[in-house]
Structure 1
């Protein structure tokens, strides 16, 4: 499934990115399902959630 392969590559980039990179990916990628966004969010370091919230603001 192409969509799932694309999400897998996004997830891998997200996993390898630093906090700023994770924020950029999370706030700019489009077309994901709610579940896929939740999956990325589970990989996000909790202590930086305020930065993510501000970026989404």
Structure 2
């Protein structure tokens, strides 16, 4: 239960963040499942995916 509540908080923070903050959250958050990462990725603006890829590279 606490893990899901934590993910909901991360998701809300991610939703409100600007692109650079989204990248920071996506690349530094730990302990998420593949599905949770995918859920965040679906909320990421497609036109900035190259910037996210560079940050992860």
| TM-score of the superposed pair, with normalisation by structure 2 | 1.00
- State how far apart, in whole Å, the 2-side matches of 1:27 and 1:51 are: 12
Unaligned runs of 5+ residues in structure 1 are: none
Q: Which residue of 1 aligns with 2:8?
A: 8
CA RMSD of aligned residues (A): 0.1
Q: Where do residues 18-29 of structure 1 align in structure 2 (5 Å cutoff)?
A: 18-29=18-29
Q: Which runs of 4+ in 1 moved over 2 A?
A: none
Provide the aligned length of Structure 1 versus Structure 2: 57
| TM-score of the superposed pair, with normalisation by structure 1 | 1.00
- State how far apart, in whole Å, the 2-side matches of 1:42 and 1:11 are: 11
CA shift, 1:16, in A, is: 0.1
- State how far apart, in whole Å, the 2-side matches of 1:18 and 1:34 are: 23
